[in-house]
Amino acid sequence: MITFADRILYHAVQIQYSMQHKGISIRPFIGAQDFEVSRSFYRDLGFEEKIITPDMSYFRSQGLGFYLQDAYVKEWVDNTMLFMEVEDVHRFWNELQTLNLPAKYNTVRLTPVRQLDWGSECFVHDPSGILWHFGEFVKTDKNHLRCQSISYRLQRGSRKFTAYGALSN
C-alpha cells in the first residue's frame, strides 16, 4: 500500500530531477506541396525568409519562426496546424484581407475572426493546406495575464475524453 508520505517523497524526487527548460524558441518544420509557391505565400504574409539550403527556408516574424521544407507527405501536411498569437486579431484580420491571398493563391482559404471563451482567432489555410490559427487571448486582469482553455474532445464509443491546457503570463 502506498502511503501519503510515499507520494510526497515520489513527487519531491520528480521535481528535483526534472529538466529545467531554458528554451529560447520552438521552430516547427512544415512541408510544402509546391515549395516556391509556399515561399512566396509566406513572404506575402509578412514573414522574413532566410534560405538555409535549396530545399529549406526559415521564416520569421517578431522573433517567432518556422522551417519550410521542400517535402510533401499528404497525411502529414493535411494534419499540420500552427497557432500564432497576435497582439490584435481584428487588426490582423483586416490586414490579412487587404492582401487578397485567395485570389493570388488558388488553394488558400481564410476564415473570419471567431470569438471563443478563451479569446478570438481567425484561420488561414496555406497553399499546401496547412491550417494556421492566428489568435488573441482574453486579457483577464490588470496585469494582462492570458488564459487559454482549449478543450479537445474525442468520441470513442460512448466515452468522452477532454484535456485542458493553460498558459499564463
pLDDT per position as a tens digit, 24-33: 889 999 999 9
Return the H-helix or E-strand segment holding 31. strand 29-31
What pLDDT is recorded for position 135? 97
pLDDT of 80: 97
Region 26-135: CATH code = 3.10.180.10
Domain boundaries, the chain: 26-135
First to last CA, the chain: 40
Rounded-to-integer distance, Cα 104 and Cα 96, Å: 13
Question: What is the amino acid identity at position 151?
Answer: S
Distance CA 92, CA 86 (A): 7
Contact between 134 and 124 (Cβ < 8 Å): yes
| pTM beyond cutoff 0.85 | no
